[in-house]
Structure 1
């Protein structure tokens, strides 16, 4: 595997009962790239992210992160599920930002960010606190460190969630439609933070319907439908001159 490739998914298959959610999906992202995944609802975009982050177990194929097969160990031609401890170790390297923020409601913004570094990474509390304050300043929320999630707007909560993911010092961050639960006027403040992250060189995989963000920030765009990758390539090509008629139809629909 090319050492520049941080994520490589090969023939990834996932079923929920009789429903084929992912049908031999192939996908890759290089270190420092922003890869956007687009497509209609139910196309498998979020399921692919959840397989990447080991929130769902694949039924077939494999995903490698930094050349390490995730979720399984190989013994000859057979694959065996790894232990929960090894799953947790692998998952620590992959940040995740969800649609619905998933902040701990009983913790302040600062405490939400500190929780992982202290209790998962074993950092000294004072070091974690100093880093959390720096991250809150980076996302424009240094004045909200003592606020609980209920006192924050949706956009502010999502920015705290991004800072929390960054606090774990991941190799990459996955974003699952991070603006879909926000009021329209709050979307830009979250996208601005994501643009800053992209500029800093963070590897990002973003499931999104924000075509402007994909056009201006993404290095690659992948269009999915019915659990399959229909088209993938450089963002300018996929969004500007798609080769597949269904890709073109979808892009036209979401931009009008």
Structure 2
């Protein structure tokens, strides 16, 4: 299994998909417990949700599951949210705080997984960012995520439908965040927040260099917006998804249209 799949396009927009993969190598699968094997923390169907929304978009998709290694975590292991409950580079627990391993990986294995899975994904992503920036003078990375709307271990109450993360505005030009927020705010029947519980993962914070023409924004969607139920078997709700896709398409069009205006802001 290749760690990453890349589909190249000629748009200034790149979609990152770090958490949609479900592949587990046999040796890793054998060491997960029954709860871990449920793969409940997958960003279910996100690749389907965004498919075909923007002509010429580039996609970079991790094919491995986040329990192999989390492609959206700092490879040095530093927490994204110090002092708050979260999961690590190789998660030892799931989003509910429950153990997922029969035999957890040791430091040597974490290092090997970083080399064999995490690094190839980010090498591919970095290459596409540079390719797109060379072609357009600017690259906009939109990092695609989803999560259950109720997870008490991670956050109180119900998560908003659209969760925009820019590390409090540091990872993209203000116009980029505003272009996304405008669509979300105008989406009837949906809720939104900017830089709330999810301010952007390691990908967003690592690559976001607006002063160098690389603008990155993370979108964390509540899975209630497009699944029939936020539980196994994680069924894609076609009708709900089509309503949501209208707004996601508008977001990506806004970003593509905005890109030429960003060339002079570096």
- The two structures have a TM-score, normalised by structure 1, of 0.31
Task: Give the number of the structure whose alpha-carbon radius of gyration is greater.
Answer: 1
Query: Could you say which structure has the greater relative contact order, defined with CA pairs below 8 angstroms and 6 or more residues apart?
Result: 1
- The two structures have a TM-score, normalised by structure 2, of 0.30
User: Of Structure 1 and Structure 2, which has the larger fraction of its residues in strand?
Assistant: 1
